[in-house]
């Protein structure tokens, strides 16, 4: 478990719907973040929906902490990161999550850090913004800036997860091909193309330039695809001709 991610606290303020809480739990679990706090929740429905939408992250939902106010929910945090889509005098110093995630994770190595999300209908109020040490805004098209609460949690947590370096992409099982093996492949390929009648000996230099390109970068253009399709058709034709000759 990444220590910095383990110090992240997702704080939902004044949340209205349990379904959003459950979906937020699922988003958190996807990104290795497991501590949920509800500040002054104003829930309008039962927890049945929240538990259904949490899916396999129901442990996060059941372990949630509830507080009477945002002030109480973030009292032990070394940084309070508020999310806001709204403009305003005290909201001008916002950054995109990607631009500040690494710095905030450094703070999370020293103690708890709160990622604060506001109400579904009106976000964080000005007095709540005033309690934040950092403000972030998810970049979106200016034609529609409102983001579903759980989606906002997912995007923000993803940026912190990515910045943490926790994800290690799969690696190729085999090592890269040495140049000598590549050149041997080209020689054998050229011999095969002559044998099946795709090209004549005197055309080798011309055609092999195209195959060098394909083997270096993959089938990228229409010409690349046409070249490889031509080989496939010629190979089938050569096999059929050989079969007919043997009858």
| Model pLDDT for residues 120-170, shown as the tens digit of each residue | 998 999 899 999 999 999 999 988 988 999 999 999 999 999 999 988 888
- Residue 245's pLDDT band, with cuts at 50, 70 and 90, is confident
| Model pLDDT for residues 192-204, shown as the tens digit of each residue | 999 999 999 999 9
- Torsions phi, psi for 11 (to 5 deg): -115, 120
pLDDT at 228: 93
Residue keyed to tokens 């809480």: 21
| Model pLDDT for residues 159-187, shown as the tens digit of each residue | 999 999 988 888 888 898 899 999 999 99
pLDDT at 163: 95
pLDDT at 157: 97
DSSP one-letter code for 135: E
Query: How far apart (Å, rounded) are the C-alpha atoms in residues 239 and 230?
Result: 14
Tokens read off for 214:
């394909």
Angle at 198 between CA 196 and CA 202, to 5 degrees: 110
Of 50 and 217, the one with more pLDDT: 50
Q: Kindly list the distances between the CA atom of residue 28 and the CA atoms of 23, 56, 82, in Å, as whole numbers in the listed order.
A: 9, 11, 16
pLDDT at 91: 60
- Residue 246's pLDDT band, with cuts at 50, 70 and 90, is confident
Alpha-carbon 148 to chain mean position: 18
pTM above threshold 0.85: no
pLDDT at 37: 98
pLDDT at 142: 86
Of 242 and 38, the one with more pLDDT: 38
- Going from N- to C-terminal start, the domains of the chain cover 3-164, 179-245
Q: Which CATH number fits domain 3-164: 1.20.140.10, 3.40.980.10, 3.40.50.12280, 3.40.1280.10?
A: 3.40.1280.10
Q: Can you tell me the mean pLDDT for 6-16?
A: 97
Is a pLDDT exceeding 90 seen at residue 36? yes
Spatial strand order of the sheet with 113-117 comes to 65-67, 35-39, 8-13, 113-117, 79-83, 134-136
pLDDT at 243: 86
**What percent of the chain is modeled with pLDDT above 90?**
80
pLDDT at 28: 98
Q: Can you tell me the mean pLDDT for 216-229?
A: 92
Is a pLDDT exceeding 60 seen at residue 89? no
Query: How far apart (Å, rounded) are the C-alpha atoms in residues 49 and 58?
Result: 11
Mean pLDDT of the chain: 93
């Amino acid at each position: 478990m990444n220590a910095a991610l383990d110090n992240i606290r997702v704080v939902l303020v004044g949340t209205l719907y349990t379904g959003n809480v459950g979906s937020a739990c699922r988003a958190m679990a996807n990104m290795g973040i497991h501590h949920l706090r509800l500040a002054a929740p104003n829930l309008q429905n039962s927890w049945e929906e929240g538990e259904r939408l949490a899916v396999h992250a129901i442990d996060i939902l059941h372990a949630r902490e509830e507080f009477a106010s945002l002030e109480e929910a973030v009292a032990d945090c070394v940084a309070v990161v508020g999310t806001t889509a709204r403009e305003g005098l005290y909201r001008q110093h916002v950054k995109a999550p990607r631009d500040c995630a690494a710095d905030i994770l450094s703070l999370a190595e020293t103690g708890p850090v709160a990622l604060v999300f506001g109400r579904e209908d009106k976000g964080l109020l000005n007095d709540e913004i005033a309690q934040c040490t950092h403000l972030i805004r998810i970049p979106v098209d200016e034609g529609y800036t409102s983001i579903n609460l759980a989606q906002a949690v997912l995007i923000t947590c993803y940026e912190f997860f990515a910045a943490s370096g926790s994800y290690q992409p799969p690696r190729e099982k085999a090592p890269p091909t040495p140049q000598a093996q590549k050149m041997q492949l080209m020689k054998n390929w050229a011999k095969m193309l002559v044998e099946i009648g795709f090209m004549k000996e005197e055309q080798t230099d011309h055609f092999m330039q195209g195959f060098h390109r394909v083997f270096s970068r993959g089938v990228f253009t229409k010409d690349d695809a046409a070249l490889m399709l031509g080989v496939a058709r010629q190979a089938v034709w050569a096999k059929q001709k050989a079969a007919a000759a043997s009858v």
